[in-house]
Amino acid sequence: MLTSNEQYLVEQLMAKEEFQSFQSLAESLNVSVRTIRNLLHRIQPFLTGNNLKVERKYGVGIRLTQIEETEENVNIIPFVDFSAIYRREVLKLLLLLNFRQKTSINKLAEQFYVSKNAIFLDLKIIEKELWIYNLCLERDHEGTKIKGKRKLIKRAIIDIVHQFGISILYENNKYISDNENILYSVLNPKFEQLIVEVLHDLKERYGYRFNFDFLQTLIIHLSVDILLFGKENKKQEEPKTAATAGEYFQMRIETALMINFSQRYNKERFQEYCTAFSFFEGKEGTNHSAAALLESFEDISGIELRDKDGLINELNQYLYQIELRQEYRIAVFHPMLNHFLSNYGAQFVALKLAHWNQPDLNVKMTDDEIAFELVYVLNHCYGNKRDFQVLVKLNASEELQRFVLQKLEKEFPLSSFHAEASLEYADMELAVTFSPDSNTAKSRNEIDLNNPKQLELLRERIAYQRAEKIVSAVEEQFDYQTFLLEVPDKKRKDDVLAMIKTIVLKQYPVSEQNWFDLIEEDKINPTFWIEKQAALLVLETEKVTRSSLLKFELPIQVRWRNNNELSRVRKVYFFLSKHVELEESTTLYKAIQFDRTIKKIIEEEENE
């Protein structure tokens, strides 16, 4: 069993992949360098048992590296993931799934093979993490338990599954419940097979169609329901008749797992699940905000959707289902949320900004729900809007004009080309002359479609002028400022936010309460710009008279959300306004999307 200092030293070594000096480790633990050396000697058996070794580099420091397993070197603690972060999440999961009963510190220390001091430290961190869900820890001489509403507990569980995958439930089931029969029936991959089988039976008996996009969500909710309200029932009772799909669903689950739900369980819960996750094929949605939402999305992202009628109907149905789920207090889990943030970060942020521009939209969507919505949009036929106008001087027949314009638009998908016989009255962002012979194309405004060099020069000019257009829009609409923040070596998000808060409150009349509300929203639904390694904070406050866009450059990468490796950022965009208008959202989106181009142009202008 590790002492608190030994445990903390392991955490410090695991937190960084690079070498750390003895002096920095001693300062972080508030002990001497000699004590660090003694601690390293004492934790050596623990490291060896977990296939780790200490790599030393003279004059630099030490770090942990993994060693290959051999027959002589078998992990002596195979069921304990020594990563303090992972262990803490499992501990949090245990408390969440057993929130109706208290668990003693001694029992937790025995289960996780750590000292009581290590458990105390974990509980302090867990208490802060639970606070954002309006959950709290209740402690007394009998033990510790979580206090709060069940819907908030499910939300916290879903966030854990986001970070570590649904396997965290299966791999750690021995910690989660004392009831082995229920435990191994539910936290088992075979439970999913049972759910799928029952859903197919519902289709045959009641004509019910389940939307299998929400299968993992349903499994998580049912698992929590059974662990919280399920009781063993070994008596084989005669099957009851079920009037609704929900009653049949519950009866099948109780019979298969040999359980009964307690009296405190909502009898309508299974029917609510069936309604909220049904497949609405061919039915008109009752919410009619989808058309305005898609228009905002197109304007912000620069994407042009084609044949939108079918998509609008699908989104109306989806928004209606969200209203149902919120009414039934059902949180949604998207198994590919991190994938969407990594690969479709631009479209994700554009869709989230579009939601901010819809005050009439009554539903407040989580990141998971926006990810499902984005699937509908990306599955639809779309292309990029041609937002840059180019005039081409072309004296030729209509057939040749059509041929030249089609080829130019194929080469330049973001530009729209128009043919005229003269450039005298050109009211376009760029004007060029078509030259069919490269030998006569002497001016930079003359282009030959068969000359790759001239096409490349034109491509550079268009890209440059499009970026200039964005720069002027940003400077005209926003108070655009850039700050370089020197962040401490600990790379903590709280340190960055504290620095940003100091700058913002000095320059703008923002209340502490507005700031507090913003940070709470960011903790639950953060917006990351993954491709650019940036984060976006939007603060709406009545005290700001002019919208402001601030950019904070960070010399290091900050973990913007605890334990989430995908959320490291180097820039933080901070937007203040009374209300996020569509035009502002569009400019804000482009400012982030074309940040590198803008930076390059500004540097060139400064050099001139």
> Residue 51: pLDDT band by 50, 70, 90 thresholds?
confident
- Kindly report, residue by residue over 206-222, the tens digit of the pLDDT: 999 998 888 988 988 88
Domain boundaries, given as residue ranges, for the chain:
4-66, 84-176, 184-276, 290-384, 388-474, 478-607
Q: Are 239 and 177 in contact (CB under 8 A)?
A: no
φ, ψ of residue 483 to 5 degrees: the values are -120, 140
Cβ-Cβ contacts under 8 Å for 498 (sequence gap 6 or more): none
Q: Is the pLDDT of residue 156 over 60?
A: yes
Q: Is the pLDDT of residue 270 over 90?
A: yes
How far apart are alpha carbons 93 and 82 in whole angstroms? 16
Instruction: Name the token pair of 396.
Output: 């030729």
Instruction: Give the CATH number of domain 290-384.
Output: 1.10.1790.10
State residue 608's pLDDT score. Answer: 45
> Residue 73: pLDDT band by 50, 70, 90 thresholds?
very low
Beta bridge partners, 343, equal none
Query: Which of 340-349, 379-388, 549-558 tops mean pLDDT?
Result: 549-558
The CATH architecture to which 478-607 belongs is 3-Layer(aba) Sandwich (3.40)
> Residue 69: pLDDT band by 50, 70, 90 thresholds?
very low
Q: Is the pLDDT of residue 322 over 80?
A: yes
Task: Report how far apart the first and last C-alpha atoms of the chain are (Å, whole number).
Answer: 65
State residue 178's pLDDT score. Answer: 65
Question: If we measure between CA atoms, which residue out of 558, 561, 540, 187 comes closest to residue 367?
Answer: 561
CATH assignment of 84-176, given 3.50.50.60, 2.40.50.140, 1.10.10.10, 2.40.37.10? Answer: 1.10.10.10
* Span of 50-59, 141-150, 283-292 with lowest mean pLDDT: 283-292
Q: Is the pLDDT of residue 285 over 50?
A: no
> Residue 584: pLDDT band by 50, 70, 90 thresholds?
confident
What one-character-per-residue DSSP string does 123-180 give? HHHHHHHHHTTT-EEEEETTEEEEES-HHHHHHHHHHHHHHH-THHHHHTHHHH-S-H
Q: Is the pLDDT of residue 439 over 70?
A: no
**Domains 4-66 and 84-176 agree in fold:** yes
The domain made up of 4-66 has a fold known as Arc Repressor Mutant, subunit A (1.10.10)
φ, ψ of residue 333 to 5 degrees: the values are -120, 125
How far apart are alpha carbons 151 and 524 in whole angstroms? 14
> Residue 246: pLDDT band by 50, 70, 90 thresholds?
very high
Q: Is the pLDDT of residue 440 over 70?
A: no
Query: What number is the average pLDDT over the span 322-349?
Result: 82
How far apart are alpha carbons 82 and 112 in whole angstroms? 9
How far apart are alpha carbons 169 and 172 in whole angstroms? 6
* Span of 70-74, 196-200, 497-501, 603-607 with lowest mean pLDDT: 70-74
State residue 606's pLDDT score. Answer: 47
Other beta carbons within 10 angstroms of residue 49's beta carbon come to: 16
| Helix (H) or strand (E) segment spanning residue 230 | strand 230-232
State residue 407's pLDDT score. Answer: 82
How far apart are alpha carbons 530 and 527 in whole angstroms? 9
State residue 572's pLDDT score. Answer: 92
Please provide the average confidence, as pLDDT, over all residues in the chain. 79
Top pLDDT among 316 and 438 is at 316
State residue 72's pLDDT score. Answer: 42
- Kindly report, residue by residue over 17-46, the tens digit of the pLDDT: 678 888 888 887 778 888 888 888 888 887
How far apart are alpha carbons 512 and 568 in whole angstroms? 26
Other beta carbons within 10 angstroms of residue 56's beta carbon come to: 12
Query: What number is the average pLDDT over the span 442-458?
Result: 73
- Kindly report, residue by residue over 546-578, the tens digit of the pLDDT: 888 898 988 888 877 754 455 678 889 999 988
State residue 346's pLDDT score. Answer: 83
State residue 196's pLDDT score. Answer: 93
φ, ψ of residue 117 to 5 degrees: the values are -65, -40
> Residue 286: pLDDT band by 50, 70, 90 thresholds?
very low
φ, ψ of residue 534 to 5 degrees: the values are -130, 160
pTM of the predicted model, to two decimals? 0.70
- Kindly report, residue by residue over 501-519, the tens digit of the pLDDT: 999 888 888 888 888 888 8
State residue 71's pLDDT score. Answer: 40
Query: Which of 4-13, 136-145, 378-387, 407-416 tops mean pLDDT?
Result: 136-145
Query: Which of 82-86, 163-167, 200-204, 255-259 tops mean pLDDT?
Result: 200-204
* Span of 96-110, 440-454, 495-509 with lowest mean pLDDT: 440-454
State residue 424's pLDDT score. Answer: 66
Query: What number is the average pLDDT over the span 235-257?
Result: 83
Q: Is the pLDDT of residue 79 over 90?
A: no
Q: Is the pLDDT of residue 195 over 90?
A: yes
State residue 76's pLDDT score. Answer: 36
Q: In 467-508, at which residue ranges do the beta strands (DSSP E only) sit?
A: 479-484
* Span of 129-138, 157-166, 322-331 with lowest mean pLDDT: 157-166
